[in-house]
Amino acid sequence: MSTEKKVLRVLRSQPTTEGAGVKLRRAFGFHQLPHMDPFLLLDHFGSSNPDDFMPGFPWHPHRGIETVTYMIEGMVDHGDSLGNSGTIGPGDIQWMTAGSGIIHQEMPKAVSPMLGFQLWVNLPKANKLMEPRYRDITSDIIPRVNHPGGASINVISGSIEGVVGPVKDLMVDIEYLDVYLPPNTVLEKATKNNLISFAYVFQGKGYFESVKEKTIGPEHLILFDRGDSIYMATGEDPVRFLLISGPPLQEPIAWRGPIVMNTNEELDLAFKEFHQGNFIKHR
C-alpha cells in the first residue's frame, strides 16, 4: 500500500536582485538549508519589462555545484571558460556542472516576456572537484508524456511511466519534471520514500494533497514529507508547476556566493585561487 507524501511546508518566493541587477523571485536558498538537501537554490525570473532582466549575469565563477537553467519564454546567451557559447530559448535547458571551477556569463536577449528558472544542485564531496562540463539540451529532444485526461509532463531528467529524460549520467540522481494539469484533473505519481521532493507553481493553482483543503497558486513552493506517492489535482483552474526530486547528500555545506564546498577552508582556497588567477583547473 502506497503512502502519500503530505505537504510539509509551503513557501512563497521572495523578490530579490541578482547578477548585474536582474529582478527575480527566490523560491528557496541559503536560509532553507538543510531542509532542501541536495538542492541549494531555486530562482524564478520572469517579466514583460526588459529593464528587469537585461542587466543579466556577467562573468562570474562557480565551483562545487551544478546549475540548471530552464527557459519557458525568452532567450539567454551563454558563454563559459570551457569555450562553450550559444543561446537557449523556450523549452531549452542549460545543465552546467561547475566541478573544480568554471567561469561563465548568462546574458538575456531583449525578447519579452521572459520566464525561466535556475536550480542549483549540490555536488557530493567526491565530485566537488570533478572535470567541469556543460550540456545544452534543446526542447526538441525533451520527451512529453500525455495522459488521456489532458495532463502533460515534460521529462527533463529522471523518468515517468517508462519515459526517460535526456539528461543522464548525473552525479546526483535528480528527477526534473514540468507538469501541466488541465481543470478537474487528478495525477498521482509514484516516487521513493527517501527523496526530497518539491513542487513550484508558476501558473494557475492546484491541490497537492488528497484531502484538498486549499489550492496553492503561483510563486509558491510546496515541500513534501516522506512517502512513496505524490498527489496532484485541479479544480476549475489549470495549473503548471515544476516537480523536482533528489536524494539528500547529508554532507557538510560551506557556501559563499557562487561557490559551495564542504569546509570554510575549501571556500577560502577557492576565492584565493580566483583572485590569483589560477581558479580554472581544466585538463
The answer as to whether 1 is a domain residue is no
The answer as to whether 241 is a domain residue is yes
Cα distances (angstroms) measured from residue 282 to each of 20, 52, 257? 27, 34, 22
For 117-142, how does the pLDDT look when each residue is reduced to its tens digit (9 = 90+)?
999 999 999 999 999 999 999 999 99
The answer as to whether 208 is a domain residue is yes
pLDDT confidence tier of residue 283, bands split at 50, 70 and 90: low
Is-contact 97 132, C-beta < 8 A? yes
Give the span between the Cα atoms of 171 and 101, in whole angstroms.
16
CATH for 53: 2.60.120.10
Quote the pLDDT of residue 111.
86
How does strand 152-157 pair with strand 159-160? unpaired
The answer as to whether 280 is a domain residue is no
- Mean pLDDT, rounded, for 170-195: 96
pLDDT confidence tier of residue 112, bands split at 50, 70 and 90: confident
The gap from C-alpha 117 to its chain's centroid, in whole angstroms, comes to: 6
Range of the structural domain that residue 54 is part of: 7-275
The answer as to whether 97 is a domain residue is yes
The answer as to whether 281 is a domain residue is no
pTM of model > 0.85: yes
- Mean pLDDT, rounded, for 245-264: 97
For 59-82, how does the pLDDT look when each residue is reduced to its tens digit (9 = 90+)?
999 999 999 999 999 999 999 999
Query: In the chain, how many domains are there?
Result: 1
The answer as to whether 54 is a domain residue is yes
The answer as to whether 282 is a domain residue is no
For 5-46, how does the pLDDT look when each residue is reduced to its tens digit (9 = 90+)?
999 999 999 999 999 999 999 999 999 989 999 999 999 998
Amino acid 240 reads R
Residue 235: CB atoms within 10 Å: 14
Is-contact 59 104, C-beta < 8 A? yes
Give the span between the Cα atoms of 35 and 87, in whole angstroms.
33
